[in-house]
A and B are shown apart, each in its own frame.
Chain A
Amino acid sequence: MTGLFSEVFLGALLFGAITASVPLLLAGLGEQMSEKAGVLNIGIEGMMIFGAYTGFVAAYYSESLWLGFLAGAVGGMVVAAIMALLCVRLGLNQIVIGIGLTLGFEGLTALLHHFQFSRTYPRLPAAQATVIPLLSDIPVLGPALFRHHLLVYLAVLAVLVMGYIYRRTQFGLNLQAAGDKPAALDVAGVDVVRTRSIAVFTTGALAGLGGAYLANVGAGIFVPFITNGAGFLGVVLAMLARGRPSWVLFGALVFGLCLSLTTAMQVAGINMPTDVIQMIPFLAVMGMLLAFGRKSSLPAALGIPYERGAR
């Protein structure tokens, strides 16, 4: 127990929290955009795991992490394209298709992994961290917060970008209208299907990127079901955040800390069953839902396909 509050332990805990929260942050930001536009994107888990797979494969063969991230984003968008076609353009049920995509791509990536890597289990070399000068010299906090891969800082930057899009741009207005009253957007002369499709594609790209980070930087390896519900946690984050990107960041950090805690507690050899420790992040989800869930307000047309002139 003495090791629990040592500097090393705290540093590792915080470092792990950041690493664990980045995929959640990206997934949450992506889901938030879909939901703003009125699409409940349950398929995000499928987008994430396919992004993790394509990202890992690309990074493994090209030996470039950035190509891996690009491939991850593209992989997520491939799944998003199916979602956009079936749910936005054809108006099928978003929950059913979302679950289908998640299960389908979990299975597909597990199968591909079995044929390609199940004998070798190849690993990627540890990712190169971008060390921020001065800040990284702060004791404990410095190494934990400011010695990460460049993508981590970009993900935090994405929070600001999203906030700007929602509050300051025409596209942000269109998104909100598509989610709250799509018919009004349509008669104002904006294509609802296109607006929602763009949102779903963006979700796919962000979720795929998050998946690729999870596999390439977080774990350094792809294994079946590696996302382990991170996409669904993204859905929870988006719902709790009430349209604010900064709240997604906050929520992602809380969950990331819980995830990191499970690892850290096991490493520290705390005398508690592993199963109980692994429950912590999900208990945190329930706790946050209890605390904030009641006040969450969702777009009025969330989950309802738009059909022009329907009466």
Chain B
Amino acid sequence: MSQASREIPAAGPPIVELEGVTKRFPGVTANDSVSLAIRPGEVHVLLGENGAGKSTLIGMLSGLQQPDEGRIKVDGQPVVIRSPRHALSLGIGTVFQHAMLVPTLTVAENLLLGGPWWQRPRKDALRAEVDALAGSLGMKVDLDSIAAELSLGEQQQVEILRALLRNSRILILDESTSMLTPAGIEELGGLMRRLVERGLAIVFITHKLREAARFGDRITVLKLGRKVGEVAPDRFRSLDEDALIADVVEMMFGRRSGDPEETARQTHVVEAGARPLLSVKNLRLKPGATSPGLQSISFDLHAGELLGIAGIDGNGQKQLAEVLAGQIASEGGSVLLDGAPVERLSVGARRDAGLRYLSDDRLGEGTVGSFPITLNLLLKQIGQPPYWRGGFERNSEIERHAVEKIRDYDVRTPSERTPIGRLSGGNIQKVLLARELADGAKVVIFNKPTYGLDLANTLATRDRIREIAARGKGVLLISTDLEELLQLCDRIAVMAGGALVGTVENEPGARAQVGRLMIGVAA
């Protein structure tokens, strides 16, 4: 099994071809007559927004789903990929967007899954193979750690390794960068390059243009289930990064533009001596099993100001948001909202006082998936007039309210009675915004507001955040996306190990400064 690098001439005949593949789900055509060829020695980027049909395509290649029409050819022969096991035997290995490791097993045991059941797991043979393979690729893998204790980047490496151990000729990476730090993304890019040099074919799925341009050899653009364009390797190489991005954007949106994520930022100047809208002093929380807690956090947020909290995921950002919102009790420190202490108030009382929190867990703690939009919009006001009178729902009021919000916030939904769980992430976010910004919001805390949204909704959400600040509210924006913070914020505070390690004015040069703070170089 150790000869993962079979000798395949670079850019030889395609290993896998899709011919007019169509897949339908109730109500949607996920893939509409898609044709593409995957060749050895190439990083083939599948680019498209949420709902463009990337995941369905991967599902069919990896044996999870079957196409309704069209066919898949492997080495020129039409095949029906019946199961993940069958896909593996054809040499198609997939690293799914969500980690596919058994959290309670060790790395070694995870790699051994799928061996012949009558055998004893052969850990020693595995160790030798892994050492040889990982060493030559510059990967570091500890076979004895429990999978749940690995970072997302490390888990991904294990999954890539697993695919290689199975002699995969094609490696499919589904949104593999979405959970990685900038350094982790670079590392993955380097690994992909080394793998294609060995003759592997890589299918790299992403919705980030810059990554596609940096790491790809060939780009296929999907839009609403259809293939709308392809950039072949020779053309790819002849263009510089910006020209390439402009090209792809035109395919995706039908208009030529620069980087669509790039927008001019208007700085907000805080008047000297103005009273802060939110003043946090020495906020503390004990470290938990999986979180670093909070170590004496202090900051001020003024009206109309956008303060960013940067940092690698899991450095206490979520705890900070939840302590401020009142969902976790702090162990000391004060929080003044517009001069009044709120640190002893309940979640509801803080909300009433104007402190609003938009969770990153939109479906988990933000909404009730099976409730209609009408009720989700009023989730925090249940029982209150004018929507409830004497304990009874007043449907006409509730519906009128919902229709209004749906119009104002441009929520795309079949009706106001649709269960919110059926909406896309972007539309759920709009409903949450509509709810949290209503009736006297003063300070709004966002936790990763654009996580998991496609480009159009990301841009719309960012516009909305700017608009909130422009209306004189204070915005605390927690994000792991440095680009986002640099575009939106007036100041960026960096969080590491549960402490604010520094605050940077968003001026030219802020990027490097924040980056250094994030990795702990500058104190």
A-to-B contact residues, CB < 8 Å = 168-171, 173-174, 176-177, 180-181, 183-191, 300, 308-309
Hey, which chain A residues are within 8 Å of B64, CB to CB?
308-309
The A/B interface has a contact count, at CB < 8 Å, of: 77
Of A168, A185, A300, the contact of B113 (CB 8 Å cutoff): A185
A300 cross-chain contacts in B, Cβ below 8 A: 103
Are B112's CB and A186's CB within 8 A?
no
For the complex, give the distance between the alpha carbons of A275 and B113 in Å: 51
Bound Cα distance from A309 to B64, whole angstroms: 5
CB neighbours (8 Å) of A169 from chain B are: 117, 120-121
Cβ distance A9 to chain B, nearest Cβ, rounded Å: 46
Identify which of B65, B112, B162 contacts A173 (C-beta below 8 A).
B112
Indicate whether A188 sits within 8 Å of B103 (C-beta atoms), given known contacts A308-B64, A309-B65: no
The yes or no answer to B74 lying at the interface (CB within 8 A) is no
Indicate whether B62 reaches chain A with its CB closer than 8 angstroms.
yes
The size class of the interface chain B forms with chain A is 20 to 34
Question: Which residues of B are in contact with A by a Cβ distance under 8 Å?
Answer: 59, 62, 64-65, 83-85, 88-89, 94, 96, 100-105, 109-110, 112-121, 162, 166
- In the complex, A169 Cα to B121 Cα: how many Å? 6
B113 touches A177 (CB 8 A): yes
A180 CA to B113 CA, complexed, in Å: 13
Cβ B117 vs Cβ A174 within 8 A? yes
- Besides A171-B117, A177-B113, 14 more A-B contacts (Cβ < 8 Å) are A168-B120, A169-B120, A170-B115, A171-B118, A176-B104, A181-B103, A183-B100, A184-B100, A185-B102, A185-B114, A187-B94, A189-B84, A190-B113, A308-B83
A180-B104, A187-B62, A187-B94 as given contacts; A170 in contact with B117, CB under 8 Å:
yes
Q: Flag if A173 contacts B120 (CB, 8 Å).
A: no
Output the nearest chain A residue to B55 by Cβ-Cβ distance.
A311
Nearest CB of B to A181, in Å: 5
Known A169-B121, A173-B121, A189-B85; judge A181-B100 contact (CB<8 A): yes
In the bound assembly, the distance between CA atoms of A309 and B340 in angstroms comes to: 51
* Residue of B with least CB distance to A182: B102
- The answer for the CA separation of A52 and B437 in the assembled complex, in Å, is 65
B119: A residues at CB distance < 8 A: 170
For residue A187, which residues in chain B have a CB less than 8 angstroms away from its CB?
A: 62, 84, 94, 96, 100
User: What CA separation (Å) do A144 and B254 show in the bound complex?
Assistant: 86
Inter-subunit contact B102/A309 (CB<8 Å): no
Chain A residues lying within 8 Å of B114, measured Cβ to Cβ, are: 185, 188-190
| Closest Cβ–Cβ distance, residue B86 to chain A (whole Å) | 8
**Whole-angstrom CA separation of A251 from B63 in the bound complex:** 44
Q: Are B113 and A173 in contact (CB under 8 A)?
A: yes
Can you give 25 A-B contacts (C-beta < 8 A)? A168-B121, A169-B117, A169-B120, A170-B118, A170-B119, A171-B117, A173-B105, A173-B112, A173-B113, A177-B102, A180-B102, A180-B105, A181-B101, A181-B103, A183-B100, A184-B101, A184-B102, A184-B110, A184-B113, A186-B83, A190-B113, A190-B114, A191-B85, A300-B103, A308-B83
